[in-house]
Amino acid sequence: MVTKMNHRLLKDFVRAYPFQPATAFWRAVEIGVLVDQELPPGRYLDMGCGDGKLTRIIMDRIGPRPIVGVDPDPEETRMAETIGLYDAVHTAPGDRVPEPDESFDVAISNSVLEHIDDLSPVLQETARLLRPGGKFYFTVPSSDFHACLRGPLSPLGRRDRYLSELDRRLAHVHYLSVDAWEDRLGRAGLRLDRAEPYFSAPQVRRWETLSRFTAGLLYALFLRRTHPIRIQRRLGLRQAQARWKLPDALTSFIAWLSDLGMRRRSDGDAAGNPFGCVLLVGSK
- Give all strands of the β-sheet with 88-91 in edge-to-edge order: 88-91, 67-71, 44-47, 104-110, 130-141, 275-283, 191-200
Q: 89 pLDDT exceeds 80?
A: yes
DSSP string, 169-197: HHT------HHHHHHHHHHTT-EEEEEEE
Residues 223-247 have a mean pLDDT of: 62
Average pLDDT, the chain: 88
What's the pLDDT at 216?
Answer: 47
What's the pLDDT at 246?
Answer: 74
**pTM across the whole model:** 0.90
Q: Which of 56-65, 95-104, 182-191, 246-255 is predicted least confidently?
A: 246-255
Domains of the chain: 7-283 (3.40.50.150)
